Structure 1
């Protein structure tokens, strides 16, 4: 059924108490006025500032009822005509026992053998409506549907027309393809937020184009991430900034069009996620950022450390909120860094079973989600991950990021030298790659940084000699933690897909 039909059904059923959580009060009023065309009731609105008014006519008519909550409920109970009462921000007054009792008397009018007045429909409207438990059990929560693509496009056009009126008829320059992309990316927002973001994009420069998409992603993220559990990664790496990982890059390239497409081709499911396992310092975080750039979508990072709360049930609630926010940001890449630290396998006793419940909800979300949120999880310790997360089907693929080979190490030297304004052609990249056998990408970068400090102290230019000297003085992780690194590489062989 449509949104309006759902509402009409509730009114026809004489639902005594409806709760609507929204910031768009005008839309609620308009919905109920439309519903009156199919099922007639007297329609009233109430607020503490304007009191009780009848609003089912073209003009609102004030009543002589005092604006306080108790007098309003007394008037509703005494009314001799069935009515719909939209009570805006009424719930704070339910903290008083007398007001709560009055409301319960009206709501429970259908009790057998009682006659408590006409079957009114009371509607509590607010941004966040929290009811006492005894009232919450009696309420039906109705959620207005979010605007579809046609409604969002209409709002964007209205804002463009408003801009033209304010600027002497100057029309908004609009790229048709970019406008469709903007409308698509406004999905998941209510009409108020769609209008606000559309207005901001238009009024920035009087145009709508592809250059507005990054700003739209930022505005949408700031709007949805009220919990603070997600972090918007502004500096996503380009695929060409990553050395090696040829197989992983090809995997992303093959799936880009299916992930971004409105509908997947027959027989193909949209890509859902990958686990990046590897030796520390070998570029898992860089690759997570590059995946977002490869798909051409925003990257948001979920910090498991911020989810955990000492109060029972709050941790799971925080995870649900964070994942719901990520879904509203679709299409996007959701990155969970060092996932083993948040989902470490245990007996369920050390933290009261919180980790197990968090894992359970995450696995359910991974299996049932339909949104275009591509999950990238990174991990360093495979033995700390629960077996349920690793079974086939949880991730599309598990890639292993190994220590770089000689060719990749030469690319890493070139990338980091170029990043610091130096010409890689002036260095013996092949010789440096040989000298850095067993080094990770992070260790190669730090060797360059240390050599630059040595060159600065000696007031000399960076040279192969200084770079080799730093490499000789460094003991890489593959030497310091040889047993652990070897065990991880051995486990990954035959169980994962090599990224390079």
Structure 2
């Protein structure tokens, strides 16, 4: 609150007559303005379409004859005043298409008199006409600090204790710190609502509550569209191989989740490789390993037929990801969204420019995981060091990793892994990608069920023999990709 009052005071001292405050917390804005008005001995008024213009505190009384619920009448009344009062208009945005209203705002904003009134426009979203933009100052409320968020959680826990015969809310320090981190980017009121929802059902804040919190935060920030919240982040135990990638992530987990004041924070990685080799599953597993929400950016949903809307969609999506920090942002098959197309009138290049600027300048803790099947289609400026930390290549799994993949998929289908000859299956599946091995297991389960038999090695071997892996069907293209990556990327396994 002190910072908000200080920032508002600086704007008033600069004698800007038109101030825009975009916020969902109208009551908090009014409280800050009222506190400043009292400190400076200023008269202040509020306007909304229901109650019209009302005086708050001391100051000149309003003439009751005027219909001050009409915004144009209210603004005309303000324009004629000769006192340095504050006029706060709440939710004026539906009326900003009126040319007369725009002119009234412009006249108030350009008033050079020392005793001219100051107009503050408060709304959750407000776009000024072009002729007003350079005349207005914009203020954003400060986001709650970690200390404030922790205090809100303690307050809600104390309230729950009072209502439940002194029972204490159960939690632990690690979970509490994660909750505080995941509450960043929401308002004070939203943080209180989310904390209350975590506690109210069972009087506990546990690790199981974190996905619920992330989904609720995503809904509050209204991110549906090109950005989606992935409900189920995989565990790295469900990802076969990728040992070097797993070590790399483990070494950087603390630096990302608890960055030092002047330290570097990991930015992201590109996972390139053969189709079906587990890149998308690995991207999901990063969020699962670090206990962070996973957001997926759909490049296909970005595109809009109107000029400029596609780039705006991307900027909005990236801003939303920033608001969800700390989080993992996953862009799947990124080369399909950034590939050159002579028919797109330069949209792909402008999208690339927007993305590169965000990658280079962002200060939020958003870890980017991009996956690509054909890395050779990507522009070189995207994958240079500094924008991404590392380029990993996910190759076809070797025999050891194929055994792990069989173990994972057999176990996930509640089959007794010890009954199967994993070395034999690994040898028979040479050249298979992880996704192809999974489908062979699925096929074997279907076949055994149809014959009313238990799944055996023979079912799996038959399914493998009936499958032509991509490494055979697209042998030349796959080999070219592997040759390209040999000296250019870090092997993920």
TM-score (ref. length: structure 2): 0.93
1:402 maps to: 395
2:232 maps to: 235
In structure 2, relative to structure 1, the CA distance for the partners of 1:414 and 1:179 (3 Å cut) is closer
Aligned counterpart in structure 2 of residue 214 of structure 1, from 195, 211, 215: 211
TM-score (ref. length: structure 1): 0.92
Pairwise CA distance, 1:364 = 1.5
1:27 maps to: 28
CA contact (8 A) 1:333 1:375 kept: yes
1:292 maps to: 287
CA contact (8 A) 1:14 1:119 kept: no
1:329 maps to: 324
CA contact (8 A) 1:237 1:290 kept: yes
In structure 2, relative to structure 1, the CA distance for the partners of 1:360 and 1:136 (3 Å cut) is same
Select between 416-425 and 152-161 the one with higher mean Cα deviation. 152-161
Aligned counterpart in structure 1 of residue 111 of structure 2, from 109, 112, 132: 109
Given the alignment of the two structures, is residue 413 of structure 1 paired with residue 406 of structure 2, yes or no? yes
Aligned counterpart in structure 2 of residue 159 of structure 1, from 147, 156, 160: 156
How far, CA to CA, are the matches of 2:439 and 2:339 in structure 1?
30
2:385 maps to: 392
Aligned counterpart in structure 2 of residue 378 of structure 1, from 366, 371, 374: 371
How far, CA to CA, are the matches of 1:371 and 1:326 in structure 2?
9
CA contact (8 A) 2:181 2:326 kept: no
Pairwise CA distance, 1:227 = 4.4
Select between 251-260 and 72-81 the one with higher mean Cα deviation. 72-81
How far, CA to CA, are the matches of 1:94 and 1:373 in structure 2?
35
1:77 maps to: 79
Given the alignment of the two structures, is residue 491 of structure 1 paired with residue 488 of structure 2, yes or no? no
How far, CA to CA, are the matches of 1:77 and 1:367 in structure 2?
45
1:126 maps to: 123
How far, CA to CA, are the matches of 1:273 and 1:496 in structure 2?
15
Given the alignment of the two structures, is residue 308 of structure 1 paired with residue 303 of structure 2, yes or no? yes
Given the alignment of the two structures, is residue 448 of structure 1 paired with residue 430 of structure 2, yes or no? no
How far, CA to CA, are the matches of 2:96 and 2:456 in structure 1?
75
1:465 maps to: 458
The DSSP-based 3-state class of the residue aligned with 1:232 is strand
Pairwise CA distance, 1:31 = 0.9
Pairwise CA distance, 1:204 = 2.5
Q: Over residues 119-139 of structure 1, what are the superposed CA-to-partner deviations in whole Å (9 max), with x where a residue is unaligned?
A: 110111111113332233422
CA contact (8 A) 1:20 1:142 kept: yes
Structure 1 residue ranges without an equivalent (≥5)? none
How far, CA to CA, are the matches of 1:458 and 1:157 in structure 2?
59
1:51 maps to: 52
2:269 maps to: 274
Structure 2 residue ranges without an equivalent (≥5)? none
Compute the RMSD of aligned alpha carbons: 2.4
Q: Over residues 340-381 of structure 1, what are the superposed CA-to-partner deviations in whole Å (9 max), with x where a residue is unaligned?
A: 0011145xx421111111111111211121221111111111
In structure 2, relative to structure 1, the CA distance for the partners of 1:290 and 1:210 (3 Å cut) is closer
CA contact (8 A) 2:21 2:120 kept: yes
1:184 maps to: 181
How far, CA to CA, are the matches of 1:498 and 1:94 in structure 2?
56
In structure 2, relative to structure 1, the CA distance for the partners of 1:428 and 1:161 (3 Å cut) is closer
In structure 2, relative to structure 1, the CA distance for the partners of 1:338 and 1:429 (3 Å cut) is same
How far, CA to CA, are the matches of 1:96 and 1:357 in structure 2?
33
The DSSP-based 3-state class of the residue aligned with 2:120 is strand
Q: Over residues 253-281 of structure 1, what are the superposed CA-to-partner deviations in whole Å (9 max), with x where a residue is unaligned?
A: 111111111427x7x52211111111111
How far, CA to CA, are the matches of 1:185 and 1:103 in structure 2?
40
How far, CA to CA, are the matches of 2:488 and 2:174 in structure 1?
43
Give the total of aligned pairs.
490
Given the alignment of the two structures, is residue 149 of structure 1 paired with residue 146 of structure 2, yes or no? yes
The DSSP-based 3-state class of the residue aligned with 2:368 is strand
Pairwise CA distance, 1:62 = 7.1
CA contact (8 A) 1:345 1:385 kept: no
How far, CA to CA, are the matches of 1:150 and 1:291 in structure 2?
28
Select between 8-17 and 311-320 the one with higher mean Cα deviation. 8-17
Select between 172-181 and 355-364 the one with higher mean Cα deviation. 172-181
How far, CA to CA, are the matches of 2:423 and 2:174 in structure 1?
46
CA contact (8 A) 2:18 2:108 kept: no
CA contact (8 A) 1:335 1:376 kept: yes
Aligned counterpart in structure 2 of residue 224 of structure 1, from 221, 225, 247: 221
2:9 maps to: 8
The DSSP-based 3-state class of the residue aligned with 1:318 is helix
How far, CA to CA, are the matches of 1:437 and 1:97 in structure 2?
71
The DSSP-based 3-state class of the residue aligned with 1:2 is helix
